[in-house]
Structure 1
Amino acid sequence: MKLKYIFIISLFSTAFSAQIKKDSIRQVEQINLLVKKKLLERKADRLIFNVEASIASQGMDASETLANVPMLKVDENMGSISITGKSMVSVMINGRMLNLSGNALLNYLKSIRSENIAKIEVITTPPAKYEAQGNSGIINIILKKNPNIGFSGNINTSLIQRTYSGFSSNGSLNYQTEKFSGSLKLTHYDSAKRSDENYSIVGASQNYSNSVRRDMWNELTPTLNISYKISKNSEIGMEYIYAHQKSGMDIVNTTKNITSDHKEENLLTHTFHREKLPTHTLSAYYDLKLDSLGKKLSIAGNFYKNNSDTEVNFSTLRSSDNSVQDVKTISLVSPQIFSGQADLELPFSFGTIETGVKFNQFKNNSDLQYYNLNGGAYVPDYSRANVFQYQEENYAAYFSFAKSFGEHWETKAGVRYEHTNAKSFTPSTGSGNTYNYGQWFPSAYISYKEDKNVFSFSYSRRINRPSMGNLNPFRWYSNPYSYSSGNPLLTPAYINNWELGYTFNSKFSASVYYLRMKNAFGQISYLDDLSQVSNYLNYYNNNFWGLNASYTDTFFKFWETSLSLNASLQNSTVFNIEAQTQKGSSFSYSINNTFSLNKKKTVALFLNYSHSLPYRNVNSYFYDFPQLNSGLKVSLMEKQLQINATVTNIFAQRYRGNLYFADNTQHMDNYWDGRSFRLSVNYTFGNSKKKINKKNIKFEEKERAE
């Protein structure tokens, strides 16, 4: 009888425990549903956008996701990503700088799904740990850790229709064990667009130019990534990227030139431009955990090289005597970059210390040969040929200290020192330049959090070094009379950036900033008889006062909207040119809307509108630019299959602007095939058993190779 009671009591106890366990699981599930990730988080040195908390950012690629982030602007027409009210920014993936810009960068980002992105960090005043290079800030895309042991993968294909049809495809295959992680990714895109560019220079002489151009890109890029955990405290890894790129332009240009004594000359030029650009990137790293408290040593090395082989043929008809001039240019450009770095992270009870050293070496050799067609044979013209050699070495060291005071205060301060040795040489003229300079780059941050309010203040000093293309005196001819070139005498610009930020309830974000830029450089165009010449100069200093504000919320459970605006005032001074600057201002706003069309939120419609009002900057004036984008997103098979259809720049807006100089006014009116239709299909497959860490390697210098 006692055994019977014991059995009944035991059975009841087991059932009761099981019920408690089930109730506990339900409670945990309910808590998980209630406690969602905050959309926006403000840290001492950055603003964080949690992609998982945004309905609008689901079922799309990384470039589209960036467009949903407050303060960021993605412009496919210009091939640019920028912080609203400021200039273009650098893009990192898990702390690794991408050597991509323009359409190449956007195409790369289109191969990353938003479901694989954990968060996006907007760093408007980068701390000492990061390169001081760059005049605006850094976007750091943090990917989720790969959850798959065994095989997994992803296949994506897209069709884009502009004036011409194009497509892109990419696929990845991953294999992971407890210690080994390997992935092979293959990307291919083949696309084209039509551009219509108009540029005029009106002064004592006048020049009117119109170019109708077909731009073409074709690229096949395999990427291999391998890592291995030697022990629980150490890991090694490498990444190799080979990009087999081809690009081309077919251009028809008409130019009318009117001299000061009213003589008119008309030129008609047909241009055939083809470029091969094989690129190799090799990166390796070693990570060592020094203790269980988080102290870590990281060592990394990077190597980058490409060989740009370009042939341009152009034929120019001159109206005054009906003569035809046929010209061919052949150019070889071979930039090479090596970098090595060591970073030490030391968390202590009194605060966290970060310190490290870095060495970068840039080399670039370029050779341009110019040929005139004479008697059926191409004859070299050595007076227009150009050979240029450039080498730069950067040595850097940094130190920073971060400390939190209770639950409310977070502080961080650091300093970075960079010393640069640079030299350039032009064998044909025997001329060269040598630069040696060292600079300190301090940074400081403080934030205060109280309930739903977060306040922050940040400061950093940065440098904007000219790229190799900016420095190269290499002449890129558009016809026998007109060309653009770089300037080996360019010197860096320096930027001081102060910013005061505020975030409320993880939905509203605002920042007030002041940016002081000294010795800034840009491209200047002028007339020299029949020639339209473009060159780079250091020519202005700038003061910017700006305001960014955004608000994101969900209404009626199916409508997520995000509103943002930017306003700025600026004044400038110029040197090395004769121009009258004016006090400038700008104002822009955007409204992004996503509507879930079913309860499961697997079908969504989005409608986005942005408008930049006319604005002035230095000696330029730009007309307003409104833009409307819309599309439909469908998720099937528990989000394994996703289909997106998007229409951009529905009203086919044009970019227009004026530049004012003492002796002439210049006007641009351009259309870069902005209206497009894109249809993309993405399928994800694989196991999902256990999370595995994946390391990404920093290589911040590669973008300057362009």
Structure 2
Amino acid sequence: MITRLFSLFISVIVLFAETSQAQSVVKGRVTDDKGQAIPAANILLLRPADSLLIKGVLTDANGYFRIDQIKTKEGVISVRMTGYKRKDTHFSFTGADTALQLGSISLITVVSNLKQVEIIEQKPLYEQKIDRLVVNVSNNIATAGGTVIDVLERSPGVSVERQSGSISLNARDGVQIMINGKVSRLPMDAVIQMLSSMSSSNIDRIELISNPGARYEASGNGGIINIILKKPADLGTKGSYNIILGYGKHEKAGVGLNLNHRTEKLNTYLDLSFYRNHTEQHFENSRMVHSAGDNVGTATVSERDPVTTNYSGLFGMDYMVNKQLTIGGYISAYSNKWVMDADNLVSIDTNNISSGGIKINNHETSRWQNLAGNIYLAYSWTDGSTLSLDADYLYYNNSNPTTYRNRYFNESDAVVIDSNLRAEKHTPVNIWVAKLDYTKKLGEKMELETGAKGSFSKFTNDVSLDELSNGKWANVPGFTVSAPYNENIGAVYAALNTTFSKSTRLNVGLRYEYADISLKGTDVKTALSRSFSNLFPTFFFAHDINKKNTIQFSYGRRITRPAFSDLAPFVIFLDPTAYYYGNAALLPAIADGIKLDYKYDRYLLSLQYSHESNAFAQRQPVINDSSSVEILTTLNLKYRNTYSLIFTAPVNIIQWWNLQLNVLGSYREVQTSHLDENFVRRQTSARVNVVQRFKLPAKFTLELSTLYRTPSITGISKTAAAGSVDLGIQRKIQQGKGNIRLNINDIFWTNIDKLTLYQPANNLDVKILYRYEPRVIRLNYTYNFGNTKVKNRAERETGANEIDNRVN
């Protein structure tokens, strides 16, 4: 089926491909204000409507440049060179002209008669593109030296629910996390754990993509969050290193190094980083169960002392065989180790009379290790068509041993039982991916994109629980299982990009995906075999009313498949009366979403709506009425409707004071499908983030960031209002090569997660509180060295880019 569809797409290419149009040429020469040639100046050909880069060249040793194969009737030549003022020249071809001579373009020196010249080009904190909002993390002072999760929590429209292990974008759940264009294959709670130990100093920017196009895999109903790591910026070597020191309740430290060496044909790059985060957590979980005429209350208080250590490395190279063919690849690896000691106190009462409880000391280790390799080939034709081939192999390994000492005490506080448990969880994962993408120019104003992809995943989830009895460890029945899982996904897609005029653009795409999954368990309840096939249409339209006013509309269908960890049988104890458990009966969730954007100058207003059937609700409490045991698991809702309004505005108050305002308003409606008496829950909520920046004397910059979120719903639970205030200050040193930043996060200790779920008809009365380490102070030092003109390595999407973050 997939082969036939892909053959059809290739036939479309042959059927619609047209003879290349007449190509135009623009020539010129760049000089300084004294008439002297300027070699190696950047010549950028930009689209007039939105300044989109079409292509770029450098001037030669005599200042001359030539840009050929131009397919637009008009454009902007932007000349840029360090030490000179940027100059833009608008041009257009008339009649049958195919060559245009711009003559001499003179640049004005920025600063003269000074012993030292410092040119600083700073990107705005937020940039709105046609299909994504870009957060330039390197310009965020208040989160410098912190973790990536700190930055995500303060990004427009992003909500991180650590307690449920979920991330939402513009109030939509099911977000796909990508790092450098490659999807993380960890389950979301493990992704949050990893990002909580990854330094933000290694991040260049974050791309928030609400409605991805057809070339992206259809997984992730909430869209895509793409985290782009810093890259060293024609020939030569460049790099940087950074050092982080921090303290809250405990110490933090990290170092990072990246290098880039480029010759005329070969580009090599290396990234290494280490980060250690010693923190603390305070959790509370209470519930009331009505059983056999009695009210049984259980309250758990957990004091946790986790330490996370993260090592990561990447080495890669690109080799340009000729101007049309490039080959390359990379290998990467990381190790993320989370170690926690916790003291837990469980108090139990019956009809408000104490009936004893449990004192628990547990030691837990969770280690994720990864080794990945990629090889690729990219070929481009003179008419602008391109072909890329990718092959990836990824290996993950997760080990999660935990020991518990449980001391049961009676109403008189006397220990009556002293027991020891140990749990083991081991999960090796293997993933193979192959991908092909082809683009074909169909004339001056039309481009066809098409491709195919196949991914093959398998893992075995081995879980066991033993109890120490009479000096020997004995297996506990019901909590030991070995569950092999296999998943094969094939996909083909086609998308048509059309430019009706310089101000109107259209993209229409269609993606077909077929998935075959099987999970084997120790019993019928934990085994499944399913196949799914779906069509995923996408539609994008953009129109520039004038230079300052733009409207955009998009529609897309997405799918969120259950995470491997949510499907596979496993158990993780919070205490003997509450534990997480997998749900093999989960179904995929399908979402249809529309988005309307209006942009005026730098101000953006967005309206969004999505309908999601079989939506996931992570870590939802299910109470066993007879035993009062609380099981936290992922469940399917009947549906979830989300309406959201997003407004972003940069405001320049005075020359030395500006702010960025981000407001998200949302309305959610969810209906359950798993309870005895199902219900509908509705909630209106808002999220406001204000980042203020002050330019101070002596090259200091101060940044104040405030975040506030009103009550909202997560799954079927309600979360309380919360927020934070962060402060940071920075100064460039060492002739601009060094940068030192000092910041403090959550100054007033207000970023506390509180959840409640009260549904008496379903015997649900649960309260949860999660408090994380407040008032963390960090000092971050970064130094850049080498040739500052070295270009960044190319950013590519590989074959593994769009696999679900669904590894267990």
Alpha-carbon contact 2:202-2:230 (below 8 Å) kept? no
- C-alpha separation between the residues in 2 aligned to 1:35 and 1:629? 25
- C-alpha separation between the residues in 2 aligned to 1:372 and 1:65? 42
Structure 2 match to 1:642: 739
Structure 2 match to 1:95: 181
Shift of 1:398: 0.6
5+ long unaligned stretches in structure 2: 1-30, 39-78, 88-106, 111-118, 291-295
Superposition map of 1:366-515 within 5 A = 366-427=461-522, 432-449=527-544, 450-505=546-601, 507-515=602-610
Structure 1 match to 2:701: 604
- C-alpha separation between the residues in 1 aligned to 2:109 and 2:523? 73
Alpha-carbon contact 2:232-2:239 (below 8 Å) kept? no
- C-alpha separation between the residues in 1 aligned to 2:403 and 2:146? 38
Give the counterpart of 1:258 among 320, 345, 349. 349
Shift of 1:658: 0.8
Map Cα deviations across residues 188-222 of structure 1 (whole Å, 9 max, x no partner): 12222111111111231322111111111112222
- C-alpha separation between the residues in 2 aligned to 1:477 and 1:50? 39
Specify the SS of the correspondent of 2:202. Answer: coil
Superposition map of 1:493-642 within 5 A = 493-505=589-601, 507-522=602-617, 523-528=619-624, 529-577=627-675, 578-598=677-697, 602-616=699-713, 619-642=716-739
Shift of 1:263: 7.2
Amino acid at match of 1:458: S
- C-alpha separation between the residues in 1 aligned to 2:755 and 2:561? 26
Alpha-carbon contact 2:543-2:551 (below 8 Å) kept? yes
Alpha-carbon contact 1:366-1:387 (below 8 Å) kept? yes
- C-alpha separation between the residues in 2 aligned to 1:479 and 1:665? 18
Specify the SS of the correspondent of 2:566. Answer: helix
Specify the SS of the correspondent of 2:680. Answer: coil
Is residue 305 of structure 1 aligned with residue 407 of structure 2? no
Alpha-carbon contact 2:142-2:728 (below 8 Å) kept? no
TM-score for both structures, normalised by structure 1:
0.89
Amino acid at match of 1:245: N
Amino acid at match of 1:688: T
Structure 2 match to 1:315: 405
- C-alpha separation between the residues in 1 aligned to 2:313 and 2:576? 39
Amino acid at match of 1:655: D
Amino acid at match of 1:224: F
Shift of 1:381: 2.8
Structure 1 match to 2:383: 293
Specify whether residues 378 and 490 from structure 1 end up closer, same or farther in structure 2 by C-alpha distance, changes over 3 A only.
Answer: same
Structure 1 match to 2:34: 19
Map Cα deviations across residues 250-277 of structure 1 (whole Å, 9 max, x no partner): 1111112335796724011110112333
423-432 or 342-351: bigger deviation: 423-432
**Percent of matched pairs sharing the same residue:** 22
Give the counterpart of 1:112 among 192, 202, 206. 202
Amino acid at match of 1:532: E
144-153 or 386-395: bigger deviation: 144-153
5+ long unaligned stretches in structure 1: 1-15
Amino acid at match of 1:149: L
Map Cα deviations across residues 135-161 of structure 1 (whole Å, 9 max, x no partner): 211234567875463332211111221
Specify whether residues 17 and 244 from structure 1 end up closer, same or farther in structure 2 by C-alpha distance, changes over 3 A only.
Answer: closer
- C-alpha separation between the residues in 1 aligned to 2:405 and 2:121? 67
Shift of 1:78: 9.0
Structure 1 match to 2:16: none
Give the counterpart of 2:242 among 144, 156, 165. 156
Structure 2 match to 1:9: none
Map Cα deviations across residues 4-52 of structure 1 (whole Å, 9 max, x no partner): xxxxxxxxxxxx9983459997684559999998886655433456789
Specify whether residues 583 and 141 from structure 1 end up closer, same or farther in structure 2 by C-alpha distance, changes over 3 A only.
Answer: closer
Give the counterpart of 1:658 among 753, 756, 759. 756
Shift of 1:540: 3.5
Alpha-carbon contact 1:255-1:268 (below 8 Å) kept? yes
Specify whether residues 560 and 60 from structure 1 end up closer, same or farther in structure 2 by C-alpha distance, changes over 3 A only.
Answer: farther
**How many residues matched?**
682
Alpha-carbon contact 1:43-1:456 (below 8 Å) kept? no
Specify the SS of the correspondent of 2:805. Answer: helix
- C-alpha separation between the residues in 2 aligned to 1:65 and 1:272? 29
Map Cα deviations across residues 618-647 of structure 1 (whole Å, 9 max, x no partner): 643221112111111111124321111111
- C-alpha separation between the residues in 1 aligned to 2:136 and 2:182? 19
Amino acid at match of 2:705: N
Structure 2 match to 1:704: 806
74-83 or 469-478: bigger deviation: 74-83
301-310 or 25-34: bigger deviation: 25-34
185-194 or 532-541: bigger deviation: 532-541
Specify the SS of the correspondent of 2:280. Answer: strand
Specify the SS of the correspondent of 2:194. Answer: helix
Give the counterpart of 2:259 among 173, 180, 184. 173
Structure 2 match to 1:683: 783
Superposition map of 1:157-306 within 5 A = 157-204=243-290, 205-259=296-350, 264-289=355-380, 291-306=381-396
Specify the SS of the correspondent of 1:680. Answer: strand
Map Cα deviations across residues 458-511 of structure 1 (whole Å, 9 max, x no partner): 100000111111101111233444321111111111111111101111x21110
- C-alpha separation between the residues in 1 aligned to 2:230 and 2:565? 35
- C-alpha separation between the residues in 2 aligned to 1:656 and 1:369? 32
Alpha-carbon contact 2:520-2:528 (below 8 Å) kept? yes
Specify whether residues 149 and 644 from structure 1 end up closer, same or farther in structure 2 by C-alpha distance, changes over 3 A only.
Answer: same
Alpha-carbon contact 1:519-1:540 (below 8 Å) kept? yes
Specify whether residues 391 and 90 from structure 1 end up closer, same or farther in structure 2 by C-alpha distance, changes over 3 A only.
Answer: same
Alpha-carbon contact 1:473-1:487 (below 8 Å) kept? yes
Specify whether residues 531 and 573 from structure 1 end up closer, same or farther in structure 2 by C-alpha distance, changes over 3 A only.
Answer: closer
- C-alpha separation between the residues in 2 aligned to 1:55 and 1:223? 25
Shift of 1:456: 0.6
Structure 2 match to 1:5: none
Map Cα deviations across residues 177-197 of structure 1 (whole Å, 9 max, x no partner): 111111222211222211111
Alpha-carbon contact 2:613-2:639 (below 8 Å) kept? yes
Specify whether residues 210 and 147 from structure 1 end up closer, same or farther in structure 2 by C-alpha distance, changes over 3 A only.
Answer: closer
Map Cα deviations across residues 68-116 of structure 1 (whole Å, 9 max, x no partner): 76444678999976434333633435533344621423544624254xx
Specify the SS of the correspondent of 1:102. Answer: helix
303-312 or 21-30: bigger deviation: 21-30
375-384 or 99-108: bigger deviation: 99-108
Specify whether residues 693 and 430 from structure 1 end up closer, same or farther in structure 2 by C-alpha distance, changes over 3 A only.
Answer: closer
Structure 1 match to 2:20: none
Structure 2 match to 1:672: 772
- C-alpha separation between the residues in 2 aligned to 1:34 and 1:313? 54
Alpha-carbon contact 1:388-1:474 (below 8 Å) kept? no
- C-alpha separation between the residues in 2 aligned to 1:651 and 1:38? 28
442-451 or 347-356: bigger deviation: 347-356
Specify whether residues 211 and 556 from structure 1 end up closer, same or farther in structure 2 by C-alpha distance, changes over 3 A only.
Answer: same
Specify the SS of the correspondent of 2:219. Answer: coil
Alpha-carbon contact 1:365-1:390 (below 8 Å) kept? yes
- C-alpha separation between the residues in 1 aligned to 2:775 and 2:162? 10
Alpha-carbon contact 1:59-1:642 (below 8 Å) kept? no
